[in-house]
């Protein structure tokens, strides 16, 4: 019997827009399916449908079976019963599924109890399930993380914990939405190694991704079937190793940016609530119109630095924008959150939310702000009709570009963009990077791009690397001779 069987799967929005059109697929135990395609192709819609779910305002039709259990057309309580121990989900932003007020270990034990039973006589079985899940998720060497709350974990640690939560119930199928998003190369390799181990252990994987290099590398370790979507339809399918070509060449860096300090950071430090030093002695300068990429391993403090610059995290030291303290100036530094979906209100159209900063912070009329938002979103590849939907009707990549558009419409002196290309395919990434270069050149905006994306990093004027909360020294040239 197939681990997953999908027949005639169709998804439509309330206005009749077709998101998926008659998708069929079968997945055997231990098989890996990589679902690829441009932003808005239907990848996340397919991933949710495999769980028997759909975004708000989206209706599903057809059949989705995990083993013998049909997941479509059943009541929510029955759906939870049918999914239990059969299918798991690792979302694109795993921190959203972690309970912010509870330590990691007790949550894992509680999830294990849904399968192995509660009470003292089931304690050994639960402990074994938690230990195995942590080992398979890559937490075996870090048992101390189970005593922490999620806010004390780095992005990579949160991903491993969320994966352990997914695996602790022993699902036959796991859906992973962009599992390599926002990860440094070393952590990405570790994630791909874990996925290969999961597949070898007979767990079927549905991998939703735009990262073709990650698919290639995974396909070198285990057989991977590629399923490419475009406008909700399957346009090709087959062995990933045979269908994918060579990686695209790395972009050449652009010419140096304009000089003249716009952002000056001196001796910046951040401590966690418990007193742990997250950032220490960070010095950073970005010129007017400068484009700087901030890189570093998971947990190095990149997001903490970005939030500190935007005034979202208390810090010591000095931050100056255009020679002045930016405190109280809501336009000065705009921050694009890594979890773009949580940055939008569910009940309001995305276009209205993108246009709003131009009204509130720049005094533009609602009509002018809306027209500017439409024009900018169009340049970023998000049609006005798509942006007129509520956030649930947009893909992660479309929301990511809308987040950047909203920040740019505020007219900031400094834009801090946290993994702003992580959910984008090559074409839409190029559009976004071109827009960032334009605002640097024409508006003098200083851009700090936090990223692990090698193409995005290569497009910057300069690269700054954080390691253990400090700026790493730039490599020195080797003397000739």
Q: Which residue, 315, 356, 329, 317, is CA-closest to 414? A: 329
* Domain-embedded: residue 248: no
* Domain-embedded: residue 476: no
Contact between 401 and 380 (Cβ < 8 Å):
yes
SS3 at position 180:
coil
* Domain-embedded: residue 338: yes
- The total number of structural domains that make up the chain: 2
pLDDT at 182: 66
For residue 128, how many other CB atoms are within 10 A of its CB? Answer: 12
Q: Rounded CA gap, 371 and 480, in Å? A: 56
pLDDT reading at 195 higher than 50: yes
* Domain-embedded: residue 119: yes
Residues 234 and 363 in one domain: no
Across residues 100-112, what is the average pLDDT? 85
Residues 275 and 233 in one domain: no
Dump pLDDT digits (tens) for 392-431: 899 889 999 999 999 999 999 999 999 999 888 888 999 9
pLDDT at 246: 44
pLDDT at 136: 79
Contact between 183 and 9 (Cβ < 8 Å):
no
Range of the domain at 78: 4-243
Dump pLDDT digits (tens) for 421-460: 988 888 899 999 999 999 999 999 999 999 988 889 988 9
pTM beyond 0.85, yes or no: no
pLDDT at 1: 66
* Domain-embedded: residue 17: yes
Residues 136 and 234 in one domain: yes
Q: Rounded CA gap, 336 and 403, in Å? A: 6
Last residue within a domain, chosen from 243, 270, 285: 243
Residues 237 and 266 in one domain: no
Dump pLDDT digits (tens) for 38-58: 888 889 899 999 999 988 888
Q: Rounded CA gap, 22 and 315, in Å? A: 52
Lookup result for tokens 């900031």: 412
156/196: higher pLDDT: 196
CA 449-453-458 angle, 5° bins: 75
Residues 24 and 124 in one domain: yes
Residues 239 and 311 in one domain: no
Residues 293 and 191 in one domain: no
Last residue within a domain, chosen from 210, 243, 276: 243
Residues 226 and 342 in one domain: no
Dump pLDDT digits (tens) for 259-312: 468 999 999 999 988 888 999 999 999 999 999 999 998 888 999 999 999 999
pLDDT at 260: 64
pLDDT at 481: 37
- Alpha-carbon separation of residue 221 from 117, 198, 400 (angstroms): 36, 12, 31
Residues 211 and 355 in one domain: no
Across residues 210-229, what is the average pLDDT? 89
Lookup result for tokens 């259990």: 69
DSSP per position, 403-416: HHHHHHHT--SEEE
Last residue within a domain, chosen from 243, 278, 293: 243
Residues 60 and 189 in one domain: yes
Residues 344 and 380 in one domain: yes
pLDDT at 156: 72
Dump pLDDT digits (tens) for 130-141: 888 888 777 766
pLDDT at 253: 45
Domain of residue 404, CATH code: 3.40.50.300
* Domain-embedded: residue 309: yes
Assigned token pair, 419: 């993994």
Contact between 218 and 191 (Cβ < 8 Å):
no
Residues 280 and 175 in one domain: no
- Supply the angle between the helices 185-200 and 212-219 in degrees, to the nearest 10: 50
Across residues 235-253, what is the average pLDDT? 69
pLDDT at 251: 45
Q: Which residue, 442, 347, 426, is CA-closest to 381? A: 426
Bridge partner residues of 64 (DSSP): 6
* Domain-embedded: residue 357: yes
């Amino acid at each position: 019997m197939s681990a997953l069987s999908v027949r005639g799967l169709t998804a439509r929005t309330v206005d009749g827009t077709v998101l998926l059109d008659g998708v069929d697929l079968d997945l055997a135990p231990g098989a890996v399916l990589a679902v690829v395609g441009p932003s808005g192709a239907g990848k996340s819609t397919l991933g949710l449908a495999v769980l028997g779910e759909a975004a708000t305002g989206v209706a599903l039709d057809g059949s989705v079976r995990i083993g013998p259990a049909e997941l479509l057309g059943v009541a929510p309580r029955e759906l939870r019963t049918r999914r239990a121990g059969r299918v798991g989900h690792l979302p694109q932003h795993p921190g959203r599924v972690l309970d912010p007020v509870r330590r990691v270990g007790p949550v894992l034990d509680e999830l294990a109890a849904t399968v192995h039973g509660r009470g003292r006589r089931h304690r050994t079985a639960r402990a074994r399930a938690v230990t195995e899940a942590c080992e398979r998720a890559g937490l075996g060497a870090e048992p101390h993380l189970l005593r922490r709350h999620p806010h004390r974990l780095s992005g990579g640690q949160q991903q491993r914990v969320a994966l352990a939560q997914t695996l602790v119930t022993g699902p036959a199928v796991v859906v992973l939405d962009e599992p390599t998003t926002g990860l440094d190369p070393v952590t990405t390799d570790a994630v791909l190694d874990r996925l290969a181990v999961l597949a070898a252990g007979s767990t079927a994987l549905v991998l939703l991704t735009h990262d073709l290099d990650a698919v290639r590398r995974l396909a070198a370790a285990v057989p991977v079937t590629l399923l490419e979507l475009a406008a909700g339809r399957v346009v090709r399918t087959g062995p990933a190793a045979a269908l994918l070509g060579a990686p695209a060449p790395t972009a050449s860096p652009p010419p140096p940016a304009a000089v003249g300090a716009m952002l000056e950071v001196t001796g910046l430090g951040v401590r966690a609530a418990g007193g742990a030093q997250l950032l220490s002695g960070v010095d950073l300068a970005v010129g007017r119109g400068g484009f700087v990429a901030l890189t570093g391993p998971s947990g190095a403090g990149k997001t903490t630095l970005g939030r500190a610059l935007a005034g979202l995290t208390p810090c010591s030291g000095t931050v100056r924008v255009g020679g002045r303290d930016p405190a109280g100036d809501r336009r000065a530094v705009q921050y694009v959150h890594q979890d773009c979906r949580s940055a939008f209100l569910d009940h309001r159209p995305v276009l209205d939310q993108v246009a709003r900063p131009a009204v509130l912070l720049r005094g533009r009329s609602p009509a002018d702000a809306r027209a500017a938002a439409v024009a900018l979103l169009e340049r970023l590849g998000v049609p006005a009709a798509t942006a007129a939907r509520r956030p649930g009707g947009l893909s992660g990549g479309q929301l990511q570009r809308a987040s950047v558009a909203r920040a740019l419409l505020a007219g900031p002196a400094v834009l801090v963009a946290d993994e702003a290309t992580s959910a984008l395919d090559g074409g839409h990434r190029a559009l976004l990077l071109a827009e960032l270069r334009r605002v640097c050149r024409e508006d003098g905006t200083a851009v700090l791009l936090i990223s692990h994306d090698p193409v995005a990093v290569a497009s910057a004027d300069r690269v700054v690397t954080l390691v253990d909360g400090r700026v790493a020294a730039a490599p020195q040239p080797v003397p000739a001779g």
